[in-house]
């Protein structure tokens, strides 16, 4: 279906339930990474990855690899709020285990520093900083940073993509498996294309895995969109409450919490409500349950809450607020209430941008008419949403 066909058919035939889903879709579109920023981040990733791979000592057998992990791999990254940046994680995986993990971290830092001196100016790269588990690179004038994660292969027949990452704080290693987690997440969304692509991509020797092109929101499954919306709601909450971003639930943990109880619906509003209810239920306990990486048993992903009990309390407060606000969104009886709910969840800018996207899409279909009547008899004009707009019939917004 062409974009123009979708505009004229989808909006004009949508009932109230579909309209809320489409507005949520527009919020997702508005919080996607700006294309130019994403392209610059991907180019920086490729430059650093290739520089690292050119300096990895070749070996017989399994090759060294460089690949993205986390939100950028799962296509759940969201546009950062003011003064914030999004992280792009690059894993450098050696096929052997270095004798000294801390020395490995220092050596990786030295190579990244050489990259910064030689090629980093093109991207505004600042001198890299060595952290406990990664090398952090910040960039002048960019909305992204990059973490280079030194790792080594630790796979087995039952876990062929398992790795160990450096943990300088313990002078040792921490188990991980970002590829398996990405595959698990894809399975939860019922989309398996990435798994097949990876199997083909790594049939060759030592290589840099490309960052997959991000899909438009309209082409993403409901689970991926629900994770993006939950991340934005999390960020807005902590900004509104004046709380440090360090108190926020880590993205990997939030992704697992939303995905593990996903029920397979492709109704975005229903998926969002399920996520809000499940997060609130998980947060009901006074002490956090320990969760493991579902694709790598033995790897705790709740260690932050174990180290910092206040961050667990911050999560509990946010989860309760999130459920309350999602319920308000899905029971809004008129457009002003809908706008207030969207703003409270996702911020003023995302709410306004979503209304503008809706107005732009429906504008050509309406041929400059000011409003339209849906088959349900509800008057709907996204261009009037911010002005108080149209009163819709009360509904709970759930469909098939």
The predicted-structure confidence for 131-160, as pLDDT tens digits, reads as follows 999 999 999 999 999 999 999 999 887 789
Domain ranges of the chain: 3-32+216-387, 57-208
Please write the tens of the pLDDT for every residue from 351-383.
Answer: 999 888 877 766 655 554 444 444 333 334 444
CB 320 within 8 A of CB 283: yes
Residues 6 or more apart from 186 whose CB is under 8 A from it?
74, 192, 193, 194, 195
Q: How far apart are CA 172 and CA 181, in angstroms?
A: 22
Q: How far apart are CA 210 and CA 202, in angstroms?
A: 11
Please write the tens of the pLDDT for every residue from 294-322.
Answer: 988 888 899 899 889 999 999 999 999 99
pLDDT of residue 29: 92
Please give the C-alpha separations between residue 80 and each of 2, 134, 200, 233, 327, in angstroms, as whole numbers: 30, 21, 33, 12, 25
User: How large is the angle between the packed helices 309-330 and 268-282, nearest 10 degrees?
Assistant: 150
Q: What CATH number has the domain spanning 57-208? A: 3.30.460
- Pairing status of strand 207-208 against strand 65-69: parallel
pLDDT of residue 395: 36
- Give percent of the chain with pLDDT exceeding 90: 60
Confidence of residue 220 (pLDDT cuts 50, 70, 90): very high
Confidence of residue 206 (pLDDT cuts 50, 70, 90): low
Helix (H, G, I), strand (E, B) or coil at 87: strand
Q: Which residues of 135-152 are buried (b: 16+ CB within 10 A; e: fewer)?
A: bbbebeebbbbbbbbbbb
CB 194 within 8 A of CB 182: yes
Residues facing residue 68 across a β-bridge: 90
Please give the C-alpha separations between residue 127 and each of 46, 92, 168, 397, in angstroms, as whole numbers: 18, 19, 20, 50
- Give percent of the chain with pLDDT exceeding 70: 80
Higher pLDDT, 364 or 167: 167
CB 385 within 8 A of CB 20: no
pLDDT of residue 162: 93
Residues 6 or more apart from 159 whose CB is under 8 A from it?
177, 180, 296
pLDDT of residue 101: 96
Please write the tens of the pLDDT for every residue from 85-104.
Answer: 999 999 999 998 999 999 99
- Entry pTM: 0.81
- Residue 157 CB burial class (10 angstroms; 0-12, 13-18, ≥19): exposed
Residues 6 or more apart from 25 whose CB is under 8 A from it?
217, 218, 225, 268
pLDDT of residue 364: 54
pLDDT of residue 305: 94
pLDDT of residue 22: 85
Please write the tens of the pLDDT for every residue from 278-298.
Answer: 999 999 999 999 999 898 888
């Amino acid at each position: 279906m062409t974009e123009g066909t979708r505009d004229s058919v989808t909006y004009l035939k949508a009932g109230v339930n579909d309209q809320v889903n489409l507005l949520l879709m527009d919020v997702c579109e508005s919080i996607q990474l700006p294309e130019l920023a994403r392209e610059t981040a991907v180019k920086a990733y490729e430059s650093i990855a290739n520089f690292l791979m050119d300096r990895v000592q070749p070996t017989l057998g399994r090759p060294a690899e460089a690949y993205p992990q986390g939100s950028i791999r799962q296509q759940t990254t969201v546009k950062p709020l003011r003064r914030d940046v999004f992280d792009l994680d690059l894993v450098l995986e050696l096929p052997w285990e270095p004798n000294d993990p801390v020395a490995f971290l220092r050596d990786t830092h030295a190579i990244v520093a050489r990259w910064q001196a030689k090629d980093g100016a093109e991207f505004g790269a600042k001198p890299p900083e060595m952290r406990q588990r990664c090398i952090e690179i910040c960039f002048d004038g960019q909305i992204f940073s990059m973490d280079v994660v030194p790792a080594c292969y630790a796979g087995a027949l039952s876990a062929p993509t398992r790795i160990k990452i450096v943990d300088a704080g313990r002078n040792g290693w921490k188990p991980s498996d970002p590829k398996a987690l990405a595959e698990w997440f894809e399975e939860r969304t019922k989309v398996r294309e990435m798994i097949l692509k990876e199997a083909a991509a790594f049939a060759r020797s030592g290589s840099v895995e490309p960052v997959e092109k991000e899909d438009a929101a309209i082409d993403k499954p409901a689970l991926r969109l629900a994770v993006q919306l939950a991340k934005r709601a999390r960020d807005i909450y902590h900004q509104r409450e004046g709380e440090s971003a360090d108190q926020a639930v880590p993205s990997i943990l939030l992704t697992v919490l939303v995905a593990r109880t996903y029920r397979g619906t492709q109704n975005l509003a229903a998926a969002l409500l399920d996520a809000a209810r499940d997060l609130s239920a998980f947060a009901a306990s006074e002490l956090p349950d320990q969760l493991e990486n579902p694709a790598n048993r033995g790897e705790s992903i709740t260690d932050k809450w174990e180290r910092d009990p206040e961050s667990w309390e911050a999560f509990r407060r946010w989860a309760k607020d999130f459920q309350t606000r999602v319920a308000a969104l899905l029971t809004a009886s008129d457009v002003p209430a809908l706008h207030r709910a969207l703003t409270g969840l996702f911020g003023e800018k995302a709410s306004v941008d979503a209304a503008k996207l809706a107005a732009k899409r429906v504008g050509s279909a309406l041929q400059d008419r000011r409003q339209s009547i849906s088959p349900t008899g509800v008057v709907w004009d996204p261009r009037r949403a911010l002005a108080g707009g149209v009163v819709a019939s009360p509904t709970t917004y759930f469909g098939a």
